[in-house]
Structure 1
Amino acid sequence: MLEMDLLLGGFLERQFHDLTPAQAVAFIQLADMEDLELWPLITGKRECENSLQAEVVNMLRDVRVK
């Protein structure tokens, strides 16, 4: 999904370096998900059960794609 590629790529470029080590692991776990599994978390249609992943999802929601 192009939207997910742009979102994750933008996050990697601009925010990944600011993550704590635990948040970085959570991001990698999220990035390993299938797009159809991750997209509902990003859009808020599904809640994230893991609290660290939820923190990263909230950060991803704030990414502005160029």
Structure 2
Amino acid sequence: MPKKSKVRKLPKTECCVSKSKCGRCPLRMLKEGTLPEGYTVKKRKLVTVDGKKVTKKKLAKAA
């Protein structure tokens, strides 16, 4: 039986500041350790580790 690859959820580019924290919240994903490699969160915005802005196109390639 072939092993199914799990589809990774992509984080949003910015936290929407909802009290319940949505499933794609970059802050929540950072805390859980499910953020894609090379990304971090600064001032509620998703950025690369070297501090550059993130576009959805680049993010899709990373995941």
TM-score (norm. length: structure 1):
0.27
Task: Pick 1 or 2: higher relative contact order, CA cutoff 8 A, min separation 6.
Answer: 1
- Please say which structure displays the higher CA radius of gyration: 2
Structure richer in strand, relative to its length: 2
Structure richer in helix, relative to its length: 1
TM-score (norm. length: structure 2):
0.27
